[in-house]
Amino acid sequence: MPAEFAPHAGTWMLWPQRPDNWRLGGKPAQKAFAAVASAIAQFEPVTVGVNHNQFMNARQMLSAEIRVIELSSNDSWMRDVGPTFVSNGNSLRGIDWIFNAWGGLYNGLYFPWDLDDAVAAKVLEIERAPRYKAQLVLEGGSIHVDGEGTCITTAECLLSPGRNPDLTQAEIENHLKDYLSVEKVLWIPCGVFNDETTGHVDNLACFLRPAEIALTWTDDKSDPQYARSVEAYEFLILQTDARGRKLTVHKIQQPGPIL
């Protein structure tokens, strides 16, 4: 799996519209998504998947260079529901994980999620990329890689009972190694406090480059996030990556609450 900071050929997004998730019929979110898509489109091709009843609205709001495709979904989180692309030289394939809305009937965020679970396969068909169908519940936001054999995740997320309750940590790690072609998985204990995805790593820690990680941080000892960030920091500074390098961890102050 290439690193997120590596050059890539394009970006896929999904269009927001759920009234229970997005205020004012999703209009403010749609405006924000359109701005993000336009910014990315200055540098690489962008495709936006849209439910049929929002197609004309999205086409009008998105700039002409952005490809708009009718693609049914339950919500707008392409990073989590879309395929994980992996490469082998010039060969590109995609991993289609099982998606169950971040916890299924145990503690998932919505039901049904069947349209989201079908997104990855549809994207791969559109892109004509071969598909690996993984037998693992996983979202894209729960993993981060350095492109050189190292993956970071959180135990809170991948070991949560709403995802893969019948698999051990070792079994899940073997799946990650097999599908992502990584050699080492670093299990940070917990994600961000009160994260509704149950501990995704992508808003806690990410690789900036091989052997360098940005970590969500707060200096406020009364903040529930403080203990989690300290635990993650103390774990990471003791680790090495797949090539034996010690990790440099950069503390990034988290934004304050908006309410």
* CATH number of domain containing 242: 3.75.10.10
- Asked whether the predicted pLDDT for residue 252 surpasses 80, the reply is yes
Q: What is the pLDDT of residue 197?
A: 97
Residue 191: closest CA among 225, 163, 145: 225
Does 30 reside within a domain? no
Whether 145 contacts 95, CB under 8 Å: no
- Asked whether the predicted pLDDT for residue 214 surpasses 90, the reply is yes
Average pLDDT of 174-185?
98
CA 169 distance to own-chain centroid: 20
- Residue with the larger pLDDT of the pair 117 and 21: 117
Average pLDDT of 179-204?
98
- Asked whether the predicted pLDDT for residue 185 surpasses 70, the reply is yes
Q: Determine which helix (DSSP H) or strand (DSSP E) holds 217, and give its type and residue range.
A: strand 212-217
Does 10 reside within a domain? no
Mean pLDDT (the chain) is 97
> What confidence category does residue 257 fall into, taking pLDDT thresholds of 50, 70 and 90?
confident
- d(Cα 171, Cα 20) in Å, to the nearest integer? 36
Three-state secondary-structure class, residue 137: strand
Does 3 reside within a domain? no
87-133 pLDDT per residue, tens:
998 899 999 999 999 999 999 999 999 999 999 999 999 999 999 99
Does 39 reside within a domain? no
For residue 164, what are the contacts with CB-CB under 8 A and spacing of at least 6? Answer: 136, 137, 158, 172
Q: What is the pLDDT of residue 258?
A: 73
Q: What is the pLDDT of residue 89?
A: 83
Domain enclosing residue 240, as ranges: 77-253
Does 115 reside within a domain? yes
For residue 7, say if its preceding peptide bond is cis, omega within 30 degrees of 0: no
Average pLDDT of 160-187?
98
Three-state secondary-structure class, residue 119: helix
Please tell me whether the overall predicted TM-score, pTM, comes out greater than 0.75 for this model. yes
> What confidence category does residue 259 fall into, taking pLDDT thresholds of 50, 70 and 90?
low
- Asked whether the predicted pLDDT for residue 189 surpasses 80, the reply is yes
Does 33 reside within a domain? no
Domains of the chain: total: 1
Does 56 reside within a domain? no
Whether 195 contacts 149, CB under 8 Å: no
Does 110 reside within a domain? yes
Distance, first Cα to last Cα, the chain: 38
- Asked whether the predicted pLDDT for residue 240 surpasses 80, the reply is yes
Q: What is the pLDDT of residue 90?
A: 84
